[in-house]
């Protein structure tokens, strides 16, 4: 009979590597959070109480969403064990997810905050990271979509950025319209003729992360709470507050489910009031 370690490393990882783009996240969660407790156990020895206790042990140190990621990895791996007839039933099936409502905090900038941010992004000496942030703010794209973007993904004539399926969260090709701000960023880049849009000037290689520089930039703007992903939410707020429909927001941001887009519904209150008037 398989141990959980054997199931995950010999079967789950090879299988999921073919189907899941974010398999590295699963592996990291497994090695740091799951393996120390469950790795040595035979599959039939793992019960619901034990899984719940494991999750509860992280409840004070991790956000609900992070705890849920741990549960999802366990659940998916044991589902495959059942499917492959290594296990009769999945003990993680009926364990409820933690409520993530309180952890889904989105920061929106007022006019003064936006002005401070733009001032920093237009003047700071690290031009490439500033251009990346401006491109995020101008397109609503996810960070990995922008860092992996190639010039071959850009149609300057039609003003479209094609996010490849391999880089898209929905795993579908997604066209992103490029407004004048985004086009302005592209026109400032000196990487044309090279493969990626954004190259690290010091290493000559594509960026894998800009977290450290972003921390400095947001502090300089007096916005230490602002995450890179908040730039995507800010772009959505621009769309909604200018009267665009939630359907248009869904299509541009690439949400596969309209329920995800509904988080921006409250932003349209002012627009609805104007329509009512």
Structure tokens at 22: 């974010």
Q: Residues 41, 127, 169, 244: which is the catalytic one? A: 169
Q: Residues 48, 219, 229, 270: which is the catalytic one? A: 229
Q: Residues 174, 218, 232, 233: which is the catalytic one? A: 232
State the alpha helices, DSSP H only, in the chain.
4-6, 13-17, 23-29, 35-38, 48-57, 64-83, 111-123, 127-139, 143-147, 180-188, 211-220, 230-241, 246-253, 258-261, 269-276
Query: Which residues contact residue 114 at a Cβ distance below 8 angstroms, ignoring those fewer than 6 apart?
Result: 234
Annotated active-site residue 164? The verdict is no
Query: Which residues contact residue 66 at a Cβ distance below 8 angstroms, ignoring those fewer than 6 apart?
Result: 58
How far is residue 31's CA from residue 140's CA, in Å, rounded to a whole number? Answer: 33
Annotated active-site residue 33? The verdict is no
Annotated active-site residue 48? The verdict is no
Q: Residues 4, 30, 235, 264: which is the catalytic one? A: 264
Q: Residues 33, 69, 142, 218: which is the catalytic one? A: 142
Annotated active-site residue 169? The verdict is yes
Give catalytic residues, as residue numbers: 142, 169, 229, 232, 255, 264
């Amino acid at each position: 009979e398989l141990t959980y370690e054997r199931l995950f490393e010999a079967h789950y990882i090879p299988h999921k590597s073919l189907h899941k783009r974010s398999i590295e996240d699963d592996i990291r969660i497994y090695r740091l959070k799951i393996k120390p407790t469950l790795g040595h156990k035979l599959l039939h020895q793992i019960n619901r109480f034990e899984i719940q206790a494991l999750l509860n042990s992280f409840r004070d140190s991790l956000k609900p969403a992070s705890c849920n990621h741990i549960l999802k990895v366990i659940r998916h791996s044991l589902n495959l064990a059942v499917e492959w007839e290594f296990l009769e039933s999945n003990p993680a099936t009926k364990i409820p997810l933690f409520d993530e409502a309180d952890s889904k905090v989105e920061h929106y900038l007022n006019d003064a905050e936006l002005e401070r941010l733009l001032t920093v992004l237009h003047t700071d000496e690290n031009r490439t990271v500033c251009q990346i942030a401006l491109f995020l703010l101008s397109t609503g794209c996810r960070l990995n979509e922008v860092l992996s973007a190639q010039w071959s993904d850009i149609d300057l004539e039609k003003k479209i950025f094609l996010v490849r399926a391999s880089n898209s969260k929905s795993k579908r090709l997604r066209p992103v319209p490029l407004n004048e701000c985004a086009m302005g960023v592209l026109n400032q880049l000196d990487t044309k003729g090279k493969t990626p849009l954004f190259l690290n000037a010091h290493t000559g290689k594509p960026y894998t992360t800009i977290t450290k520089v972003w921390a400095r930039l947001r502090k300089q703007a007096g916005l230490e709470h602002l995450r890179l992903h908040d730039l995507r939410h800010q772009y959505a707020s621009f769309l909604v507050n200018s009267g665009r429909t939630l359907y248009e927001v869904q299509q541009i941001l690439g949400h596969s489910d309209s329920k995800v887009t509904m988080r921006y519904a409250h932003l349209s209150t002012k627009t609805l009031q104007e329509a009512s008037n």
